[in-house]
Structure 1
């Protein structure tokens, strides 16, 4: 090492040094980040004569920036890139007393071999000596860890000399400096699992808990938000409780009142850092200016990990022009992540939980958060109700038309806010009755959107919460509407018995209220569910109740829909003449009141009845007309249904290739619309047509697809039909054992659906 020298540049090149701490003992899941950083540090890129390259790694506290930097630094040294050595200094930027640049330069000079007796007396001279020492060296890698202020970094940058590289880690983006910026986020689920497993096996190679409890480990990583510090903490906790399963820790964290505070373990990590998450977040919060801290707390109230500008303005009660700069500041501090377009911001789950915990810290902050949640719920409910009427093609003077009647705009807004809308609709268990009331209104407003997307599981969850909330608020009108909504969601899930129970609640409450319109709608829905359960007598009775009430209310549109349902049910029962009369009357009413959607559906149903009446040409004309109407209305589900029915008509007319094309088109439309049950029906119709053409392999493939789809929908009658056709196809190929097996399974499927006659028929096929 050089000692005193007025001209360090004239001294011989010092020997290589390494002041790097050890590489992380457990490191995984950062292959892409490592490759990018190595590309930036490569001395061969850009040439040695260019200015020093500064790379800055930013990210949330605990995301593993130091581990990444040290892993990359050791890899770079191992490649022989920095023959002049490597320097490391922890600037402790987020400690109570950060290391200043004046203090850091002394440590760096000592690492470079400058003894205390050789240190210049002033800071400026010390920086000059530091730069001089570097200028005489081969390329050096300088790692400045944990910087919180550019003032800690700038004086420590090299001056002259080629090939030096600086690697900075900080929780904040270093946008004031000429640096190449890298952002580090949480690990992937697989990498999180890997990190836990490696940590446990490093301590005890025989620890098999990760392999034995994969689901518990997945949940544990999820509760940690895939944040490396949190994952290291739970790994330490698991090592301490060696004989206990992973699931016990999952249960503790899931029920913890403050999960962030619960994520702590005794001792320190490999680099002497405390194994506790809450202090890391406390430091970041303490550094915020009051207005930024307020925005941070309120964004934490958002019902999901990301939020758009509209909901954010409603939470913070700040106009966009004032809110955007504060969001930029939070993004620079790695507390939110902006989307590429800048229209949405994501907050890490643990950061959001921390913000909520801070907001619950005092009565004043609790009231602030409560007010913000109310404001957000009002914003969401207003949008959901505007979308509801837009989707239905209706107007209501009491609901602002926020989307100017545009279905595309309404759906686009709902799609972008879907997670927040659905989650906020479940805020019905609050002690705040105003919040519960707003959440209830939102839940009811969401039904048309969720129905449009056939999101039946979400719809059922939201509707069930609405039922409970309305009952607790002693609001029978909303309770009846919520029960009816729940019934329709359960119907979509093909849970027909449960749907009947829900409709029964709705009918009873509507009757107590004297609400005939509500009763009529629920009776109609009851009939639809009863038809699916093949309880046709009860279904006719329910439809008739509905029809009579609609007639009494002079509601021609709804009466026509009830008539159409009755006609369809009569057709199912083989009462084709009566079915034709009902549907014809329904069609006349739809045409008279200008209900094009109802008209299109009735044309389609009439086509099926005419087919059964051996009037195939008329059926073809009706279904072609229905197709045109559906296209005009943008009713793609109705169009798929018309294509499917048209395929059956074309088959009866002997136009087999056209029939195959129609069923194929219907199947593909249903698949695109994510309607698995209807896709199954179209696939089965396609299979039958293909088999009629002796295209057995294609027919079997379509029938098997139908079987699988029906099984996924829990429609065992449909499964029986598909297996019956599979058996027939095998029989035609003289594969009698395979045919018998298919028919036996068809009989079992029919048994599960309660279709005794069809089950017996399938068994007779086996015996024959």
Structure 2
């Protein structure tokens, strides 16, 4: 039999909790009998708690803390781990090693020139482990960084990561460092319990610690400024980072810069040949009309992006001469717009309309379902049209089921839509996108394993087709992939005054936030959701919004603010007269009261919640409330009484707290 000191030496929660309780006894200056008398515990039970032989019920921990006037809440996570130890993972999971993550975009097959700059990147990585690549839009910063990362991949076998920081993406704010760090830590498959819930400095420290024990290459693309990048850089250890930005990152004094200019005339000509599929030599189209070829280079500004787009038009139009290409370029307004508009003009009318509408999407990458909602078309038709846009190099496909627009292409699509599509049509299209994200998030939320379902969405019109969510894993994967787009949709809804969407969308992200994300952002979202509910003026929504904000503050450990939120919700519940909202609030207040050390009040609230759920016709909620009441009774040591409670969700040998309400 392992004694308590052995358990504590190995860092087991039960032994660590016993050590913390003995420290409280020492602080009190009382013997076991005196301390038992002051806490209302038996001497034998207290001895077992202090020796680590038994995990005390939570009220006993609260009583010990009150004797020495200490806050019991910091002990709650340790007590929960000691009360519910996780089973050891199966041998197969310990022995198997997951494959390293590789998020790098495809390395372009026509990478041309840049020998000097590429050598400078490798030298900076060797000496400083971080390098920044800067230059104007379309000059090939991302192309160079991704090409270098592919060349480095063999030396960094623990992962090759890529994140777009959206420093210069029209229509959306730069990605904040908190979200970027959580995405990067998730890409490294860091368990959520090791990821700090709050605080950028703590997140950055966790990221540096993970990189310090791995060999990882990270591409931080499209940075806005030095402040956005600094928390994402590696610290000690072998990992390296390649940063790109349109700005010189002067604030990163310790990071060597590599600045890109346009390609030389020779390199531009070579890239145009390779991108166009021209065989070269005297028989090629470019060689037969050197003056027109030179004009193409001039109009493209020797910029790699424009040259690749122009070359793609020649490759897919074998009947064109280079002179025809020049005529199409001359009809445009700028090097970029002429190349993009030229590609769009080769599309059919439905494809061209779809391309313009893509510029209205508020997020970064997207799937077929949101595009179908945007264009009000069947998914099958949209899939075929996206394939045509892929062939025209107007859309990129980073993974098999997702698409994206290059920043410059996205800007052109937005401008083209503003010039060619009526304002009413653009407004309706954007409204369909916002409707889609609320209803899709609600469908994913419904597939997550919670016992107390919320109200269905009411924002806008449900889309004709939603992604299939076969199980909770599929729903969680969708929420993870779409998280950035959901946040962008939320900001867009706030900007256009779509208050119902602003109010409802955070409610369908509670399950996701509970599993993956921190609590700070959830509080901000529910604060804005409450403001939208106040503008809407509906009593039920106001009650739900105050309750949700109280719940978010409860999860963040801000118990006094949570209580204030629940009190405000209670006033609106009485006005709204909605039994389901009242039941959810009673359940949440019961958990808050329990964590604050209450005994009878939580039980009364859990009973009230069960009664209200029955009145609302919600049997799942009633079972949840009954389970909460029985679990609390069990924690108070009344096993026989707990066993008689209906709705039990545990066995008497393995007491497990029911899931917290959403």
Instruction: Give the TM-score of the pair, scaled to structure 1.
Output: 0.41
Name which one, 1 or 2, has greater alpha-carbon Rg. 1
Higher helix share: 1
